[in-house]
Amino acid sequence: MSVMPGFRCGRRQIQSPFARSVLTVLLLSASCTASEPMPAAGDARAEQTETSARTVTSRPGDDWPVFLGPTHDGISQETGLLEKWPADGPPLLWEREVGTGYSAPSVRGNRLVLHHRIGREEIVECLRADNGESIWEFRYPSRFVDPYGYNNGPRCSPLLTETHCYTLGAEGKLCCLTLDDGTEVWSRNVKEDFNAPDGFFGVGATPVLEDGRLIVLAGGQPNSGVVALDAGTGETLWEAVGKETWDGEETGWPSPKQYEWTGEEMVVSYSSPVVATVHGRRIVFCLMRQGLVALDPATGKELDHFWFRSRKYESVNAARPVVIGDTVFLSAAYQAGAALLRVSPETFQFEEVWSAPRGMGTHWSTAIFHDGHYFGFSGRHENEAELQCVEAKTGEQVWATSGWERPLTELRQKASGEIVDTKTGEVVPWPFYGRGAAILAEGKFIVLGERGTLALVEANTEEFVEISRCKAPRMHYPSWTAPVLSRGRLFLRCEDALVCLDLLKPSGDNQP
C-alpha cells in the first residue's frame, strides 16, 4: 500500500526552467473509483479531524462541488477578493504533494476531494479544505497506461453532493462513495458495461447530475455514447447516441461527404456534458467525438445533433459546450475552430448562427462568456497558444495575447534556466500563458499558465490588461488543471502538487 505524502505549510517557490522545445499535449479531466476507505492516520486523530471537517465553515464564499464550479461554467460569484496581488503572489495557506492526474479538486463545505494516482492505485482522497489534512481515502488498483506518454492518473473531477461523492477513473471505473467517510455505495465499469472502445487518452469526460440521474459519456457501441444511471443505485436508466445518431450524417467535408458507421469508432471524446434550461425545457448538451447532441435528460430522447469535429483522426473535442440563453458555443483545436448555434423555440433543433474554422480553437480549457464575448485559450501547441477575446454575435476576434506583450528581445535565459527581464534585470515568471486555464471572479480572470505562471487579468472586451502576475508556488509544466475557488481559497494543482492560496482581502481592507 502506498503511503500518501504529507502536506507542508509555508511558501516555497520553484522557478520553471526556460524550455525551448514545443510540446504537443491533450488535457482531459479526472475522478475516481473504489476499494476500501481508510482513515488518514490513527483512529483518534481521524475522529477528531472528521468532527472538525463536518463543522460548517464560517468563512464567506461558495462551494465548488463540481467540474468548473457551481454554475458549470468556470464563473464564481464570490466577492471580497484581492483586487491586485503582492509581487510574490497571494499568501500561501498550505501545500502538499499529490499523485498524478489532470482532475481538478472539488470542494463542499470544509471538504476537498481530489482524485489522483500513486503507483498502481487510483485514490479518491478527502482533505480538509482549510489546512490540507487528510480525512479519508479510497483506493483501487489501476493498470491504465496513457498510449501517448502523458501521465496515467484520473482525468475527471469529483462530483460532490451533500451526502455523496461520484468519481470516474481513467479506465472507466465509476464510483459512488459516501462523502462522510468514503464508504463505497456502488460502482460500475462503464467501458466494460457499455462496450466502449479505447480512447486516445483514457476516460476523461466528467459526469453531471440531473434530477437523480447521473449522466455519463460512456462512449459505448453501438448506441451507448451517453447513458443515465440512477444516482442512488447505479442502475442503468437509458442509453443513447451512436450509430443511430451519426450513420449517414452529412460531414461538410470534401470526402467523405457522409459518415459511414463502422462499429469500431470512438463515440465519446473528452468534453464534459452540461445541462441547461432552454426555452423552458431541460436539455443535456453532449459534445461527442462526432459533434454536439441535445438530449432530454429524463428519457435520453434525442432532440437534435450537429456535426462538429476535425478531419484529423488523431483529434479530440475536449472543451465543454457553453450555453448562454438559447445559444450554444462550440470550440475545438485541430483546425476545428468554433461555431455558434441557436436552439429553435419551436422544434428545439439547432440553427447555425456562425462558423469559424480558423476561429478560437480551445484545446481542453472551456471558454468563458462575459459581457457579450467569449474568452478562451486557443491553440493546439504551446508555442501557438493565445488567450483570445471573441465577439459572441459574430465570432470576430477582438484581441489576443500570448501573455507577453513586449518584444522577445527583452527576455534572457540564465544558465539556471530562469527568465530575466532585461529592462529591469529581475527574474520573472514564465512569460507566456501557453494552453492555460482560467476562471472568472469579480470581473477578473484568474489565469494559470501551463508552466506555472499565475495571473490576474481584467475581463476587458476591448484590450488585454494584466493586473498582477507571479510564479505560483510548486506549479510547473504541465499545469493543465483549471483553478478552483471556494470561500476565497484558490486551489491549484499540477502533476505532483496541490496548493491553497488566500485570495480574500484582509479584514477591514479597503483597496482602491
| Predicted local distance difference test score (pLDDT) of residue 414 | 94
The pLDDT > 70 percentage for the chain reads 88
- Please tell me the predicted confidence (pLDDT) of residue 60: 86
Q: What is the pLDDT of residue 508?
A: 58
Query: Residues with Cβ < 8 Å from 346, sequence gap 6 or more?
Result: none
Q: Is residue 385 part of a domain?
A: yes
Looking at the domain assignment, is residue 349 inside a domain? yes
The answer to whether residues 227 and 207 touch, using CB atoms and an 8 Å cutoff, is: no
Tens of pLDDT, residue by residue over 116-175, are 999 999 999 999 999 999 999 999 999 999 999 999 999 999 999 999 999 999 999 999
pLDDT of residue 39: 54
CATH number at residue 145: 2.140.10.10
Does residue 512 belong to any structural domain of this protein?
A: no
Whether the CB-CB separation of 230 and 217 falls below 8 Å is answered with no
Based on the structure, what is the number of domains in the chain? Answer: 1
The candidate with the shortest Cα–Cα distance to 9, out of 157, 128, 152, is: 128
Return the residue matching grid coordinates 509581487: 87
Cis amide leading into 222 (omega within 30): yes
What pLDDT score does 509 carry?
60
User: Cell numbers at residue 333, please?
Assistant: 483545436
In a domain, 326, yes or no: yes
* 347 falls within a domain: yes
Q: Is residue 510 part of a domain?
A: no
pTM, full prediction:
0.89
Point out the residues of the chain with pLDDT beneath 50: 1-36, 41-46, 48-55, 510-512
Domain that holds residue 450: 7-502
Q: What is the side-by-side order of every strand in the sheet holding 236-240?
A: 208-210, 213-216, 226-230, 236-240
Enter the C-alpha cell of residue 52: 472538525
**227, 239 Cβ separation under 8 angstroms:** yes
Q: Is residue 509 part of a domain?
A: no
Cα distances (Å, whole numbers) of residue 401 to 46, 243, 368, 465: 48, 41, 16, 10
DSSP 68-106: TTTTTSSEE---SB-SS--TT-SPEEEEEE--B--PPPE
d(CA 125, CA 129) in angstroms, rounded, equals: 12
Is 2 contained in some domain?
A: no
* Model confidence pLDDT, tens digit, residues 441-492: 999 999 999 999 999 999 999 999 999 999 999 999 999 999 999 999 999 9
Q: What is the pLDDT of residue 42?
A: 45
Nearest residue to 424 via CA among 411, 407, 408:
411
